[in-house]
Amino acid sequence: MGRNLLLNMADHGFAVVGFDKDAQKGATLESSASSGTTVKGVTTLAEMVQLLEKPRKMMMLVPAGKPVDDVINDLLPLLEKGDIVIDGGNSHYTDTLRRVTFMEGKGFHFMGVGISGGEQGARTGPSIMPGGDPEAYPFVQPILEAVAAKVGGVPCVAHLGKGAAGHYVKMVHNGIEYAIMQLISETYDLLHRGLGLDNDELHKVYRNWNDGELQSFLVEITRDIFLKVDEKTGNRLVDMILDKAGAKGTGKWTSQDAMDLGVPIPVIDMAVCLRELSAYKDERIQAAALYKNPSSDIPVPQEVFIQQVQDALFFGVIISYAQGLAMLHVASKELDMQIPMQEVVKVWRGGCIIRSSLLEVFFKAFQKNPELPNLLLEGEIAQLLQAKKQNMRNMIIHAIHMGYPVAGLMAALSYFDAYRSEKMPTNLIQAQRDYFGAHTYQRIDEPGIFHTEWNK
């Protein structure tokens, strides 16, 4: 990804230098450069620093955690006042805040920048989410705007707030990514195991969805995955992949931080849980032998069920975005990051993994009301959900009868039903808490805090 970003920068007229301890990687960087560009590969940080103009602008793309601190420590003796160090990896925002303070105390600038789009996106135009250090941003802004993806000629990059805002936005981006991937996988399961569609038929379904209102990067690549042939067996590759999902931790961070903030994001939470559950493959095999699912046919025509699944996915995707963006709204205030929500959605419209035609609808919503606390409160989005909710319910009923797990889709519907409920049954929970722990409660008919001796 680092190599591709450098090549992207070089193609836009910037002279770049890349550091890697492996000399072969430096040679590959130089040999991959377009003719007429200035690209240099080096094997020492000292040589890299010497080649850069002042103030030096250096971006790290290394694994989160200790490797970032190690690189910073190696750079420190080589830096001069005013130099800019950028972490372009997936660091946790608390680490970024610590590094901002540490570097500022030594007279250096430090920025956390979220980058989404993968290796290919880095080469052709990623979504870029910089935050913090407003003094440093003007020095890197022309470079980032040049290499970022463009939507309608507008670069998918913007300064997204104070402190560690860039990495916080990227963390939530990845949480939404977890959620949508889980929802897509559930629809795949229903269509493949439930309806018995083969890979060619699945390709056609997801192609049609991507050509319509579900147009997005994740549905697009899902469409293409079904056609890929395994070179070893001649089977479709997707059928040869073990059903154990990996994770790098950003989804878990999103869930953890949402709980700390008191923001409900159950679809993202469930996506993290289901990835973890997938790791228990041996136990799942044993359980499958104990609890055989009854085979039952879907009591509706195939084309009707496919439409229900499509509408359910559309519904669930909106809820996933709504939860992530609601979390950003709260975090912006609680953590004093001053995140401009309209800019976040604008940056996500192109280049990133969660880019989708729906983001244009969300962009208009935040243009109309930059302080919108939840997308579900916007009229146009409410109409979209109202149009899909019955098919969402019907699909879940059929999935339950068939015995297929649709935890992500069910979490989306449950969140919707709870959010739109003027009255929830939590009055009973408060009564229980007061009964066993004297935790007190509030009343509906007068202000104040009350406690009752329930066993008298």
Q: Would you name the residues annotated as active-site residues?
A: 170, 177
User: For the chain, what is the radius of gyration of the CA atoms?
Assistant: 25
268 secondary structure, DSSP code: H
Dihedral sign, Cα of residue 223, residue 315, residue 114, residue 277: negative
Q: Is the peptide bond before 55 cis (omega within 30 degrees of 0)?
A: yes
Q: What is the dihedral of CA 388, 391, 392, 398, to 10 degrees?
A: -170
Q: What are phi and psi of 128, to 5 degrees?
A: -125, 130
Q: Identity (one letter) of the amino acid at 148?
A: A
Q: Are 20 and 26 in contact (CB under 8 A)?
A: yes
Q: How far apart are CA 348 and CA 324, in angstroms?
A: 13
131 secondary structure, DSSP code: E
Please identify which residue in the block is written with the tokens 């003007």. 138
Cα separation values, 185 from 152, 224, 353, Å: 31, 14, 16
Q: Which residues are annotated as a binding site for substrate?
A: 90, 116-118, 173-174, 178, 248, 275, 433, 439
Q: How far apart are CA 81 and CA 274, in angstroms?
A: 47
User: Which tokens is 213 given?
Assistant: 């209102």
Element (H, E) at 41: strand 39-42
294 secondary structure, DSSP code: P
Angle at 292 between CA 184 and CA 182, to 5 degrees: 15
Closest CA to 272 of 194, 171, 362: 171
